[in-house]
A and B are shown apart, each in its own frame.
Chain A
Amino acid sequence: ETGVTQSPTHLIKTRGQQVTLRCSSQSGHNTVSWYQQALGQGPQFIFQYYREEENGRGNFPPRFSGLQFPNYSSELNVNALELDDSALYLCASSSQNGEGNGYTFGSGTRLTVV
């Protein structure tokens, strides 16, 4: 059973650029959530995808968008990068089959905007 893998692990971008982060969910999981984690803070919910559709969104502007593919992998896209977007971006997968299932997190992508 493979876990959640994210790519790239580190990324440096210039303010105003666009970035795409990728996530492969754990085998058997059909739901993917994305979180932003600033240094020393808890993960903040960006959005969740289930069956290729957005299934909930946190307090993030529209320039944060995503996709989920038929194999349940996912992408997070951020347009018009701002300095405050610098953070660790975590992807988490889970199963919708019944209650009591925790999330499996990837190791994250460290994004630095300069």
Chain B
Amino acid sequence: QQPVQSPQAVILREGEDAVINCSSSKALYSVHWYRQKHGEAPIFLMILLKGGEQKGHDKISASFNEKKQQSSLYLTASQLSYSGTYFCGTANYYGGSQGNLIFGKGTKLSVKP
């Protein structure tokens, strides 16, 4: 079942913050976050596996709620390089493999000077 991402699009000024949400109707095994720039490959940002987990690097972080049905990506003090489309990819099971990722429709983030 495809996760629901919100918002669909957001426009920021440099230095502003943004939050992107990813929701599922069922408990998930894991959530991946990727950023894709136009014409380029999606780039892996991070993976969350545990309910209540929070992790991040630099000014990009993410959380996974206790019920493992919602994840949020936090972009702090945004930079021009943060522009792109952000996708969450969710796995519903772990069966000796990573689990097949189902991606949301994406959130287009535009950072303006």
Contact = CB atoms under 8 A, between A and B. Distances in A.
Interface in B71-106: 87, 89, 94, 96-98, 100-106
Interface in A48-65: 48, 50, 55-56, 58
Nearest to B33: A102
A101 B87 contact: no
A104 B47 CA distance: 13
Interface residues of B, number: 26
Interface in B16-47: 30, 32, 34, 40-47
A81 interface: no
Contact of A45 (B32, B87, B102, B104): B102
Contact of A99 (B40, B41, B44, B49): B49
B100 A48 contact: yes
A2 interface: no
Chain A interface bracket (under 10, 10 to 19, 20 to 34, 35 or more)? 20 to 34
A104 B44 contact: yes
Q: Which of A40, A41, A48, A103 has the most CB of B within 10 A?
A: A103
A43 B41 contact: no
A96 interface: yes
Interface stretch (A12-20, A67-75, A105-113): A105-113
Contacts of A106: 41
Interface of A: 4, 31, 33, 35, 40-45, 48, 50, 55-56, 58, 90, 92, 94, 96, 99-108
10 smallest CB-CB distances across A and B, nearest first, come from A102-B44, A42-B103, A105-B41, A56-B100, A107-B41, A105-B42, A43-B103, A42-B105, A42-B106, A45-B100
Given A103-B98, A107-B40, 4 more contacts: A42-B106, A48-B97, A58-B100, A103-B44
